[in-house]
Amino acid sequence: MSTITQVHLNELKQRIAELNYAYYVLDNPLISDAQYDELYRQLVEIEKHHPEWITPDSPTQRVGDKPLSHFESVTHAVPMFSLDNAFSQEDLMDFQRRVKERLNAQGEIEFSAEPKMDGLAINIRYEKGQLIQATTRGDGLVGEDVTHNIRTIHSVPLHLLGDGWPEILEVRGEVFMSKKVFNQLNSEYITRGEKPFANPRNAAAGTLRQLDPKIAAQRKLSLYLYGWGQISDDWQLPDTYDAAIACFKTWGLPTNPDAQVVKGAQGMSEYYEMLIEKRASMPYEIDGIVYKVNALNTHQRLGFTAKAPRWAIARKFPAEEVWTRLLDIEIQVGRTGALTPVARLEPVAVGGVVVSNATLHNQDEIERKDVRIGDMVIVRRAGDVIPEVVGPVLAQRPADVRQFVMPHFCPECGSEVVKETDKAVYRCTGGLYCPAQRKRALQHFVSRKAMDIVGLGDKLIEQLGALEIVKHPDDLYRLEVETLAAMERMASKSAQKVIDAIESSKQTTLARFVFALGIPEVGEVTAKNLAHHFLSLDAIQQADKEQLLEVADVGEIVAEHIVTFFQQPHNQEVIKGLLEAGIHWPTPEQKAVVEDSVFANKVVVLTGSLQQLSRTDAKQKLEAMGAKVTGSVSAKTDYVIAGEKAGSKLTKAEQLGISVLTEAEWIEMMGEMNG
Ligand SMILES: NC(=O)c1ccc[n+]([C@@H]2O[C@H](COP(=O)([O-])OP(=O)(O)OC[C@H]3O[C@@H](n4cnc5c(N)ncnc54)[C@H](O)[C@@H]3O)[C@@H](O)[C@H]2O)c1
Ligand SMILES: [Zn+2]
């Protein structure tokens, strides 16, 4: 502390004053609340050691700031104070100790404990039971008149219920926006392409500052009471804070259901544990707990500092939202080959843990949020949810930020990256080669319906992969008994069994082999159809999109996946390795399909609009299976394949009792037949 000079102090005061102006007046904070709280704490600390340096214009001596408003200014009958902060259990103990000392009290103090709602303070004035004015806190002495907007809050009575209320009653509470309303509002903004609100507090502030009360009415604000201002002299307050609040409740005023009376440091800490646990599931955001000495006769004795009551304290929760620098955006390749952009952050504490990475979900999300590398970003971590980048702080965007571009090649294996049609997902196409996809590729390759290698379980695959003994499926065929026997929980006998299984898997079918490659969207049935259509692996590899579309059950997306998969040199390398290892199969018989076909020599009529295939493709496929495709339904018709909105032909078929198939049923039948 000795190195602190008055020059430092003045700089700090100047800085905090600027930050206050940006936050309270312009509604545009320059730093995060957590960062602000830290600067403010430093100021308090210095002034504690040098009380002689405290000046009336110090931020510690003033509440908020005067708003620049379109609304009328209102001088509060009783000033609206802020709260002192406690950041630890220790701070709370100090608070209780100070209270006890001042009151010269013995034993435990009783406190009212309640959630610190993250919104804005409002004073609501009732005269003769009638709501006549609602004002913001402003600088604590003068606020702005927002009566028109407060009147739109359904839970706030325009006239007090019951009777017995004082002629003049000012109640104070927090206006806030629930998480649900906030999320709805923001998704509407996003769909309209407008900039969403940073958080519910900001949204509530923005809503209260609307001139048109219809907007506030639509946005559904909420309010809970937590105190009072001026009250007629002839009315006697109850003895305790909680009884006063309960009394207001009987007049129809909304109060926080989570408020509780607790005793001493132990009680305060139990309430803290309870509420922090509950925080994520609460319908509105809270940023801490407010503890107030419950006995009202003590409040006058304890009094106020320049800024806050001495009978209350706000125990802040760890911030769920902080600001930090986005150092880079890196790509993570998942086990299915999906590429996820991950934010690399300057390490920062958020929600109680230090975070240096956060998900950015996908490219669309980065564009929508307009996050750029080098930006100051808002990072959020609520409850156990993984940390997320909410968006950039545009006020602090440096000139040299960089736009993120999705790489064209997989950072793990160098294979081509493709964007999946109609999805926001980018995927690595090097399925057989990519180390990120290794485990999944191998598990699939050895599975029963693929190469059917018995004894190669997940644990073993994991070990072989991790040790880089088996990087790609072709490495399996180079395994030796000794290598396998050295793995965990393996003996030479079981190792030999696995080697035998690998050996016998070499004799397979083309369909199994194609399925084993793990081409996206190519399941067992599609693999069979490909095998029986093209008859050789070469033909499948060389087929273009048009040719692939001729195959039963192959549509645009599947065809694209197949073409891209075989285009990857790395995949080709692995396939070559597999064939060199001795994998072989008998040539599938094309004829067999036609002979076996239920459609061989049958008369088929297509009607309605087909979803998966064009009319021409469907006709070709039926003919390939030996069917005769005709245009009109008669007694000679064997099958009618009815697409959507099928009309008279379908009716006729039904009248004649002809078998009708839906498009899906037909495609399924083709798949089964080709096996
Ligand atoms: N980022 C910035 O640049 C910047 C600048 C200034 C202030 N701030 C933030 O604002 C805070 C200070 O604001 P403040 O002066 O309004 O204090 P505060 O919000 O920390 O606490 C006082 C307020 O708490 C609210 N409150 C909620 N629940 C309550 C309850 N149950 N009982 C009583 N009051 C309750 C009231 O509105 C009251 O005015 C700072 O700690 C910081 O987080 C940030
Ligand atoms: Zn890859």
Whole-number Å distance, alpha carbon 435 to ligand 1 midpoint, is 50
Its ipTM equals 0.96
* Pairwise CA distance, residues 377 & 428, whole Å: 28
Our mutation pick for probing the ligand 1 site, out of 43, 81, 290, counting the most ligand atoms within 8 A of Cβ, is 290
- For the chain, which residues make up each domain, given as ranges? 6-61, 73-316, 321-396, 428-580, 591-673
Q: Say yes or no to pLDDT of 3 above 50.
A: yes
Q: Say yes or no to pLDDT of 406 above 90.
A: yes
pLDDT of amino acid 632 = 86
Share of the chain above pLDDT 70, in %: 97
Query: 73-316 has which fold?
Result: D-amino Acid Aminotransferase; Chain A, domain 1 (3.30.470)
Tell me which DSSP letter residue 553 carries.
T
Helix boundaries (H) for 264-418: 264-278, 297-302, 363-369
CA nearest to 117, candidates 173, 164, 190 = 173
- What superfamily would CATH give domain 428-580? 5' to 3' exonuclease, C-terminal subdomain (1.10.150.20)
pLDDT of amino acid 2 = 52
pLDDT digits (tens, 9 = 90+) for 415-472: 999 998 767 789 999 999 999 999 999 999 999 999 999 999 999 999 999 999 999 9
Which ligand is nearest the CA of 15, by number? Answer: 1
Our mutation pick for probing the ligand 1 site, out of 14, 116, 242, counting the most ligand atoms within 8 A of Cβ, is 116
What does the DSSP assignment read for 454-482? TT--HHHHHHHHHTTS-SSHHHHTT--HH
Same fold, 73-316 and 591-673: no
The protein residue whose alpha carbon is closest to atom 14 in ligand 1 is 82
Q: Determine whether the annotation assigns residue 428 to a binding site.
A: no
Give the pair of three-digit tokens for residue 348: 């920062």
Number of neighbouring beta carbons within 10 Å of residue 298: 18
Helix (H, G, I), strand (E, B), or coil: what is residue 406?
Answer: coil
pLDDT of amino acid 596 = 60
CA distances (Å), 101 to each of 51, 93, 117, in order? Answer: 20, 12, 29
Give 397's pLDDT tier (boundaries 50, 70, 90).
very high
Q: Say yes or no to pLDDT of 667 above 70.
A: yes
Which of the two residues, 195 and 674, has the higher pLDDT score?
A: 195
Whole-number Å distance, alpha carbon 611 to ligand 1 midpoint, is 58
Give 675's pLDDT tier (boundaries 50, 70, 90).
very low
pLDDT digits (tens, 9 = 90+) for 160-181: 999 999 999 999 999 999 999 9
Task: Kindly give the interhelix angle for 6-20 and 33-49, rounded to the nearest 10 degrees.
Answer: 140
Q: Determine whether the annotation assigns residue 57 to a binding site.
A: no
For tokens 């919104």, what's the residue? 119
Whole-number Å distance, alpha carbon 436 to ligand 2 midpoint, is 6
Query: 591-673 has which fold?
Result: Rossmann fold (3.40.50)
Q: Say yes or no to pLDDT of 262 above 60.
A: yes
pLDDT of amino acid 24 = 85
CA nearest to 469, candidates 449, 511, 498 = 498
pLDDT of amino acid 547 = 94
Beta-carbon contacts of 75 under 8 Å, excluding residues fewer than 6 positions away, are 141, 142
Helix boundaries (H) for 535-614: 537-542, 545-549, 556-567, 569-580, 591-596
pLDDT digits (tens, 9 = 90+) for 89-147: 999 999 999 999 999 998 899 999 999 999 999 999 999 999 999 999 999 999 999 99
Number of neighbouring beta carbons within 10 Å of residue 344: 15
pLDDT of amino acid 567 = 96
Give 617's pLDDT tier (boundaries 50, 70, 90).
confident
Torsion, CA 383, CA 385, CA 391, CA 395, rounded to 10 = 30
CA distances (Å), 225 to each of 39, 116, 191, 248, 424, in order? Answer: 30, 11, 34, 9, 45
Residue 116 annotated among the catalytic residues of the structure:
yes
- Among the residue ranges 322-336, 549-563, 565-579, the one predicted with the least confidence is 549-563
Contact assessment for residue 375 and residue 326, using Cβ atoms and an 8 Å cutoff: yes
Which ligand is nearest the CA of 571, by number? Answer: 2
Amino acid making up residue 253: L
Give the pair of three-digit tokens for residue 434: 């990519």
- What superfamily would CATH give domain 6-61? Helix hairpin bin (1.10.287.610)
* Beta pairing partners, 332: 340
List pocket residues of ligand 1, CB cut-off 6 Å.
19-20, 23, 29-33, 36-37, 64, 82-83, 114, 116-117, 121, 137, 174, 226, 290, 314
CATH 3.40.50.1370 at 321-396, yes or no: no
Share of the chain above pLDDT 90, in %: 70
CA nearest to 578, candidates 457, 442, 398, 410 = 442
Torsion, CA 238, CA 241, CA 246, CA 252, rounded to 10 = 100
Which ligand is nearest the CA of 228, by number? Answer: 1
Exactly one of 13, 116, 307, 528 is catalytic; which is it? Answer: 116
Average pLDDT, the chain: 91
For residues 549-560, average pLDDT: 87
Number of neighbouring beta carbons within 10 Å of residue 182: 23
The atom number, within ligand 1, closest to the CA of 30 reads 3
CA geometry: angle 564, 584, 621, nearest 5 deg: 55
CA nearest to 341, candidates 329, 350, 354, 353 = 329
The protein residue whose alpha carbon is closest to atom 29 in ligand 1 is 116
Q: Determine whether the annotation assigns residue 137 to a binding site.
A: yes
For residues 593-622, average pLDDT: 79
pLDDT of amino acid 15 = 95
